[in-house]
Structure 1
Amino acid sequence: MKPFKRAYPTTRKGQWIAAMRNTLSMILALGLALLFSSATTQAQTPSDHACTGKNLLPELQQRDPQAYAKVAAEAAKTPNGQAIFWKIEKPGLKPSYLLGTMHVTDPRVLTMPDGAQTAANAAATIIVESDEVLDDKKAAIALMAKPELSMFTDGSTITSHLTPEQVKTLEAGLKKRGLALAAVNRMKPWIIASFVALPACELARKAEGVSFLDKRIAQDAAKAGKRVMGLETYAEQLAALNDLPMAFHLKSLIETLQLGDRMNDVNETMIDLYLKGDIGAIVPMLEAVSPEPSSTKDPDYAAFEQRIVLDRNKIMAARAAPTLNQGNVFMAVGALHLPGKAGLVALLRQQGFTVTAMP
C-alpha cells in the first residue's frame, strides 16, 4: 500500500526566509552539513569550482538606501554582533579564545582573523562543535545506529510527502547537482537540504578533500597532539532538526530549490559579512534582500532559532565551562551561536568570564 500523499503547498510569501533557514543552519550553525554533502561529491566536476555569487548589499544600497540603512541599524543593535574573534579571561587562568566559524571550505574563510591561528597554536585544548569531525566514517557509522534521524523508517519517502509539482521541482534540482531522486528518496528533507543549500563550488572543494574551517582546526590540533573536545554529537544535531515540524523542513527544501542560483548570491553576501566580522547584519540582510515581505517574527523562524540556535547555545556554554575554567583553550563554533542576548558571548559572561572582541 502506498503511503498517503500529503501536500505541503508552497507560496511566494516568506519564501526567502524559509529557504535561508536551510543555508543558515548548513553554513553558520550545524557542523554536520558537509558530512552529508560529501555524498554528492562524486557527482561534482572540476568546473563546479568557480563560485559565481555576488554581494547583494551594494546593489541594495544603491537601489534602496533606506532599506540598507535599516540593515546597518539592526546590525548595530545586535549585542556582540560585530566580531567573530573573542578573548575569554578570568583571574588566575591563562586566556582562552572563541572563534565564530563558517562551516565552509572557502579559502577566504580558511584564513582566520589576525591572531586566531597563533591563539590556536598556543592553546592546550581545542573545542569544536563535535569532535566526530575528525573521522567522517566513524561519525557516519554512529549515525547509522539511529536511522530515524536521517531516513524515513515508516515506509514513506520524500516524494510521498510532496505534491506532484513539488516532486518535479525536487527532481530537477537534484539533477542539476548530478543526483538522482531515487538515490535520496528515503532521506529526510534536512539531509537532502545539505546537498542543495551549499554552492557547487563548495561541494567541488569538498570532493578534492579540502576541509571546512572547523574540521581543519580540529585536524591541526590532533596532529599536534592537543586535546580536541566536542560539545555535541552529530546525532544530537540531527535530533535538533528532527524536533522541528516535517512541514517546515519540506517547505524550506522546496523553496531553497526554487531560489536556484540566487542562493549563490546569498552565500557570497554572508561570506563578505562574516569576513568583516559583521555577523549581526546577516539576518537583517536576508530580510532586506528578500523579494517578498518576510520577517524573523514568523513562527517558523522563531521555532528554528529556538531549537537550532538558542537551545544549543545553552548546551555549548554549559559543556564548555569546565574546560574553559582550566584556561588556555581555543574554541571554534558556528558564528550564528555568538551574537545576541542569549548568544555564547553573553552566556560566557554570565559564567563569570570577561569576553572581549579582538581587534
Structure 2
Amino acid sequence: MHRFVSALSALAALLFLALPAHAECKGANLIAALPPAERAELDAAVAAQPHASGNFWQATRRTAAGEERIWLIGTYHMDDPRHAATMAAVGPMLARARTLLVEAGPEEQAALKAALAKDPALMFVYDGPTLPERMAAAEWQAVTDAMRTRGVPPFLAAKFQPWYLSMLLGMPACAMDKMKAANGLDAQLIAQAAVQGLPVRALEPYDTVFSLFGSLTADQQLGMIRSALAMESQGADYAVTLADAYFAGESRQIWEFLRLASHKLPGATPAKAEAEFAMMEEAMMMARNRAWIPVIEAAAKDGPVLAAFGALHLPGKEGVLALLERQGYVVEALPLPSH
C-alpha cells in the first residue's frame, strides 16, 4: 500500500512543512466492521501468505566464516506514541548491531532535497497538459476539494506530477501533522543510531521513487488518482485501520483488505482491480524487496545488522523474509509488546 513508502513520505513532508496543521485522525476500524463472510474471505487471503503476522524478526545463516545474524523490524513511517514500546524492545538489538539499514538514511534524504531543488520537474509538470486538462471537470473538482483539506491550493496541485498527487491523496488530511513531525519508527531508529555512533546505510538509492513511478503510463497514474479519490470520504477510517493493523502486527491484513475493497470501487471489476494491485505490488514492493536482498546480505557479512523498513515488505511470497529463506537463512518471529 502506498502509505508505506517512506521516500514518498519524505517528499510529501518537504511540501507539507509549510502548510497549515490538521486535526488528528479519528475514525472507525473498517476491518473490525466487516460482515462475517467478508472477514472470513480476508482472513483466508492473509493466511495464504507466508509470514503474514509479526513486525519483528530474526534471520540467521551458518557460513564457513561463522553465523550471520539479521534483525528485521517492520516500520510505520508516521509518528505515534506506541513507537516507544517498540523502541524499547528493539533497543538491545540496535546496541549489538554493526549497521542500521533503512530505506533512506540522512544522506539519501539530503540528496533527495538537493535533487528537487535542482530539478523541480521531478515533482512538477512543466511541459505538456496539466492535470485539469487531462481530467473531467467533475474529477478535477473532487481533486481540488481534497487538496484544499490538505492545505494545498488548486494552482499548485495542478502542477504536480500525477503519481505524486495520487500519493498525497493517499495520505489523509488528518495525518498531515504526523507527517510533519517526521518522527516515525524509521526516524527514531536513525536518531538512536546517531547517538550510538552506529553507521546508517540505505537499502536503495535516493532516486528510486522517481524511476519507480516514472515507469508508469499516464493512464496508470491517472488511475491511481481515481482510486485514491474513491477512498477520500473515509480517509480517517483508513488511517485508523492501517495504524491498528500495524500495531497489532497484522500489516499484511491491511494490504489484503485494500485489495478486496478495491473490487467495489466505482467502475472496478475484480479482474481489473486484481491487475492494478498486482502491478502496484510488483513495482512498489516486490521489485524493491529483491533489490534489497544483496544489500542486506553484504551488511550481514560484517556483523549483526538491524534492517528497518516498511512493514509491508516483510510478509508475502516475494517478501523480504521469504526471499531470505531462499538464500538459506532461517527466520523466526521475535516478540514485541502488545499495544
- Greater alpha carbon shift after TM alignment, 343-352 vs 188-197: 188-197
Matched, 1:35 2:11: yes
Q: Which residue is equivalent to 2:45?
A: 74
1:94-173 to 2 correspondence within 5 Å? 95-109=69-83, 111-112=85-86, 115-132=89-106, 136-145=109-118, 147-173=120-146
What secondary structure sits across from 2:79 in the alignment? Answer: coil
Residues 229 and 261 of structure 1, relative CA distance in 2, 3 Å threshold: same
Q: Which residue is equivalent to 1:309?
A: 285
Q: 2:189 aligns with which of 214, 217, 231?
A: 217
Residues 293-344 of structure 1 deviation map (CA, whole Å, 9 limit, x = unaligned): 7548622222111111111111011222110222311100111111111110
Task: Give the Cα–Cα distance (whole angstroms) in 2 for the partners of residues 316 and 157 of structure 1.
Answer: 35
- Greater alpha carbon shift after TM alignment, 154-163 vs 139-148: 139-148
Residues 131 and 137 of structure 1, relative CA distance in 2, 3 Å threshold: closer
Structure-1-length-normalised TM-score: 0.83
Q: Which amino acid aligns with 2:283?
A: R
Q: Which residue is equivalent to 2:36?
A: 65
Task: Give the Cα–Cα distance (whole angstroms) in 2 for the partners of residues 248 and 130 of structure 1.
Answer: 26
Whether the 8 Å contact between 1:85 and 1:99 is mirrored in structure 2 is yes
**Percent identity of the aligned residues?**
26
Structure 2 unaligned blocks of 5 or more: none
Q: Which amino acid aligns with 1:173?
A: A
Deviation at 1:118, TM superposition (A): 2.2
Deviation at 1:248, TM superposition (A): 1.9
Structure 1 unaligned blocks of 5 or more: 1-23
Task: Give the Cα–Cα distance (whole angstroms) in 1 for the partners of residues 284 and 158 of structure 2.
Answer: 25
What secondary structure sits across from 2:124 in the alignment? Answer: coil
Residues 181-208 of structure 1 deviation map (CA, whole Å, 9 limit, x = unaligned): 112322202222333322334311343x
Matched, 1:355 2:326: no
Matched, 1:87 2:58: yes
Q: 1:230 aligns with which of 182, 198, 202?
A: 202
- Greater alpha carbon shift after TM alignment, 281-290 vs 213-222: 281-290
Q: Which residue is equivalent to 2:244?
A: 272
Residues 28 and 100 of structure 1, relative CA distance in 2, 3 Å threshold: same
Whether the 8 Å contact between 1:337 and 1:344 is mirrored in structure 2 is yes
What secondary structure sits across from 2:86 in the alignment? Answer: coil
Q: 1:243 aligns with which of 203, 207, 215?
A: 215
Whether the 8 Å contact between 2:68 and 2:300 is mirrored in structure 1 is no
What secondary structure sits across from 1:44 in the alignment? Answer: coil
Q: Which amino acid aligns with 1:107?
A: P
Whether the 8 Å contact between 1:196 and 1:256 is mirrored in structure 2 is yes
Task: Give the Cα–Cα distance (whole angstroms) in 1 for the partners of residues 242 and 193 of structure 2.
Answer: 27
Task: Give the Cα–Cα distance (whole angstroms) in 2 for the partners of residues 66 and 54 of structure 1.
Answer: 19
Q: Which amino acid aligns with 1:85?
A: F
Residues 222-268 of structure 1 deviation map (CA, whole Å, 9 limit, x = unaligned): 23211000011231122111212221222222342343240221121
Whether the 8 Å contact between 1:244 and 1:304 is mirrored in structure 2 is no
Structure-2-length-normalised TM-score: 0.87
Task: Give the Cα–Cα distance (whole angstroms) in 1 for the partners of residues 141 and 215 of structure 2.
Answer: 27
Alignment root-mean-square deviation, CA:
2.4
Task: Give the Cα–Cα distance (whole angstroms) in 2 for the partners of residues 100 and 37 of structure 1.
Answer: 21
Matched, 1:262 2:234: yes
Q: 1:282 aligns with which of 238, 243, 254?
A: 254
Task: Give the Cα–Cα distance (whole angstroms) in 2 for the partners of residues 66 and 106 of structure 1.
Answer: 32
Whether the 8 Å contact between 2:130 and 2:158 is mirrored in structure 1 is yes
Q: 2:167 aligns with which of 194, 197, 211?
A: 194
Whether the 8 Å contact between 2:105 and 2:201 is mirrored in structure 1 is yes
Task: Give the Cα–Cα distance (whole angstroms) in 1 for the partners of residues 329 and 305 of structure 2.
Answer: 13
Task: Give the Cα–Cα distance (whole angstroms) in 2 for the partners of residues 248 and 225 of structure 1.
Answer: 43
Whether the 8 Å contact between 2:58 and 2:333 is mirrored in structure 1 is yes
Q: Which residue is equivalent to 1:183?
A: 156
Q: Which amino acid aligns with 2:131?
A: I
Q: 1:300 aligns with which of 276, 279, 292?
A: 276
